[in-house]
């Protein structure tokens, strides 16, 4: 049974798993199950490329304007218990202490 995903780097399907990591013998790329190619869905990443998951806490890395609010979201604001947006790895939803129902771009967030 061929269960290994195609290599996310070179796209070849000679990949194999040692139980922890997938490896591609063609280009030498190794990656963990749960990354985009293995998990079956897009992986949400913060500004540093760290994967974000439902319920994580993130910190805003720059002042952001919030649509519908006169109060900007300040750099350093902690967003707790984030929700991932289905089929949209570039945004997450969450609440700050002052503003509810935020939709934030993940490139302006850092995992707390």
Query: Rule CB under 5 A: which residues touch Zn ion?
Result: 7, 9-10, 24, 26-27, 29
In this complex, which beta carbon is closest to Zn ion, that of residue 25 or of residue 55?
A: 25
Alpha helices in 12-101 (DSSP H): 36-39
* Residue 41 beta carbon to Zn ion: minimum distance, rounded to whole angstroms: 21
* Residue 27 beta carbon to Zn ion: minimum distance, rounded to whole angstroms: 3
* Residue 11 beta carbon to Zn ion: minimum distance, rounded to whole angstroms: 7
In sequence order, the 6+-apart residues with CB closer than 8 A to the CB of 58 are 46, 52, 78, 79, 82, 92, 94, 104, 109, 110, 111, 112
- Round to whole Å and give the CA distance between 92 and 53: 10
In this complex, which beta carbon is closest to Zn ion, that of residue 13 or of residue 90?
A: 13
In this complex, which beta carbon is closest to Zn ion, that of residue 10 or of residue 85?
A: 10
In this complex, which beta carbon is closest to Zn ion, that of residue 10 or of residue 99?
A: 10
* Residue 32 beta carbon to Zn ion: minimum distance, rounded to whole angstroms: 15
- For residue 63, give Cα distances in angstroms to 50, 74, 80: 21, 5, 17
């Amino acid at each position: 049974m061929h269960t290994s995903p195609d290599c996310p780097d070179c796209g070849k399907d000679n990949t194999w798993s040692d139980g922890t990591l997938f490896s591609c013998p063609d280009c030498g790329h190794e990656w963990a199950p749960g990354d985009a190619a293995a998990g079956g869905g897009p992986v949400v990443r913060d500004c540093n490329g760290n994967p974000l998951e439902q319920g994580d806490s993130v910190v805003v890395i720059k002042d952001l304007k919030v649509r519908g609010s006169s109060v900007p979201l300040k750099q350093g604001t902690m967003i707790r218990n984030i929700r991932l947006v289905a089929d949209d790895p570039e945004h997450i939803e969450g609440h700050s202490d002052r503003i509810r129902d935020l939709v934030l771009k993940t490139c302006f967030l850092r995992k707390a």
